Structure 1
């Protein structure tokens, strides 16, 4: 038999893990893949109705349901990448008896599942928006796509770091899970940051997720811009956790496999 290269083995393992993740997450549910649409859709409907009832003219020239969808789908993708990555070692530890399977492969398979799933969700929502007659015209599709991909990589970098820390400190995962609740309301998903008082703007811009949301909204809507987006700040938040996470993983890989 022809000996397979290390790269070929790596791709085969990631593909197998990806198919296993799909079967585990959706194969046992009655509604299957529809569950992935229920959370963002229900959230968007609820907040759109609240906004319409309280401030029907709050964002002139911008379709508020589209504004919600463009940010929320990206945020849910980011959140799920981080949360699912933290549990990847524990959920797949039985597979580490096979020398071909590395802990990092389990993180990568979950990352690929979440990114592909949420890009499909984006296409579904665009079709729904078109069908309902909403204004889904995008100012700069390349800029929005870049923001989505960059945000997914930011989630991956945090996921790697948190996966290693969470494996050795169980309470760490609980703390991160709790932190996502206030982050949900402090990431410019429901509002335009420029509409807030200067003091609130200054505080929120310490949150890197806000910069990604501003990048998405600023490139999507003609009535918004990206002048407040700090790309260097986003780059630091993407590279530093990835570097630290990979370094800790390299130091801990054997312990993770043997535990």
Structure 2
């Protein structure tokens, strides 16, 4: 019996190799977990209140738009609910905006950590990405809960379309954020410049209006903005009657190309400047 069982056991050399790989993976996850905890404690003041404010800000942003339209007695551009219209647009755009901005800031604030041999720059980036995805997910859940409490159905008519739209916004934010890491490594002023740039992207992304209601020439130009594409992507999940055609291939390829460019900058530019 023992002889039969031994045939299924890997040789001693392979056992040592597997053990080393398992130890390396566990060590990597420990480093990643420690970076995430440090990130949350330093950015949010080490308190639940600080983190709650960050989670609640996108929600407050969406409801501020609702308040402005309600005060001016303006209806939603589509549908019967101002809350649902602005929530679907604002949360999508802000998920992209926060991820792309905070990934850039992570490298600027946590660069001294890369002096430790266990910590690499890509680990800092990945830890910040995970924290921002969790924050965006909680903001989305909080928004849906408030919308439901107000008596509005927060669930999309086509959940697959809406969920993939949110995932596309996350991918776009990661891609642009990694590119920002490369840019800010040799042009630190881009940290301020990008804030102004995202303001332009936000105002033209269709959060507060429907781009397809614009003249066709202007709409064709706006469609080059991938943020417009992801906002329309999510909204078509909530409003199947919305007369838009999302260019899914363009949006995904744009994000993947930007991500590849950002990883190349991180590998061949940022690392050399930090060594």
Q: What is aligned with 2:132?
A: 114
Q: What is aligned with 2:190?
A: 172
Match of 1:181 among 196, 199, 212: 199
| Root-mean-square deviation (Å) | 2.2
Q: Deviations over 1:89-131 (max 9, x none)?
A: 2211221121111101111111111111111111111111111
Query: Which blocks of at least 5 consecutive residues in structure 1 are unaligned?
Result: none
In the TM superposition, what is the alpha-carbon distance from 1:29 to its structure 2 partner?
5.7
Q: What is aligned with 1:83?
A: 101
For 1:207 and 1:254, the matched residues in 2 are separated by 30
Q: Deviations over 1:131-184 (max 9, x none)?
A: 111232311112211111121111111111110220111122222121111111
- Report which stretch shifted further, 100-109 or 34-43: 34-43
Query: Are the aligned partners of 2:31 and 2:119 in contact in 1 as well (CA < 8 Å)?
Result: yes
Query: Which blocks of at least 5 consecutive residues in structure 2 are unaligned?
Result: 1-18
Q: What is aligned with 1:39?
A: 57
With structure 2 as the length reference, what TM-score do the two structures score?
0.85
- Report which stretch shifted further, 106-115 or 55-64: 55-64
Q: Within 5 Å, which residues of 2 pair with 1:163-242?
A: 163-224=181-242, 227-242=244-259
With structure 1 as the length reference, what TM-score do the two structures score?
0.90
In the TM superposition, what is the alpha-carbon distance from 1:21 to its structure 2 partner?
1.0
Relative to structure 1, the CA distance from residue 55 to residue 8 in structure 2 (aligned partners, 3 Å threshold; closer, same or farther) is same
Match of 2:262 among 220, 245, 250: 245
Relative to structure 1, the CA distance from residue 9 to residue 37 in structure 2 (aligned partners, 3 Å threshold; closer, same or farther) is closer
- Report which stretch shifted further, 212-221 or 242-251: 242-251
Query: Are the aligned partners of 2:36 and 2:127 in contact in 1 as well (CA < 8 Å)?
Result: yes
For 2:123 and 2:79, the matched residues in 1 are separated by 45
In the TM superposition, what is the alpha-carbon distance from 1:49 to its structure 2 partner?
2.5
Relative to structure 1, the CA distance from residue 16 to residue 200 in structure 2 (aligned partners, 3 Å threshold; closer, same or farther) is same
Query: Are the aligned partners of 2:175 and 2:256 in contact in 1 as well (CA < 8 Å)?
Result: yes
Q: Which has the larger radius of gyration?
A: 2
Q: Within 5 Å, which residues of 2 pair with 1:129-144?
A: 129-144=147-162
Q: Deviations over 1:31-87 (max 9, x none)?
A: 322212442233223321222344533435341211111221121121111111112
2:110 is equivalent to residue 99 of structure 1: no
Relative to structure 1, the CA distance from residue 150 to residue 234 in structure 2 (aligned partners, 3 Å threshold; closer, same or farther) is same
Query: Are the aligned partners of 1:40 and 1:69 in contact in 2 as well (CA < 8 Å)?
Result: no
For 2:189 and 2:126, the matched residues in 1 are separated by 23
Query: Are the aligned partners of 2:62 and 2:91 in contact in 1 as well (CA < 8 Å)?
Result: no
In the TM superposition, what is the alpha-carbon distance from 1:28 to its structure 2 partner?
4.2
For 1:107 and 1:95, the matched residues in 2 are separated by 12
For 2:193 and 2:210, the matched residues in 1 are separated by 28
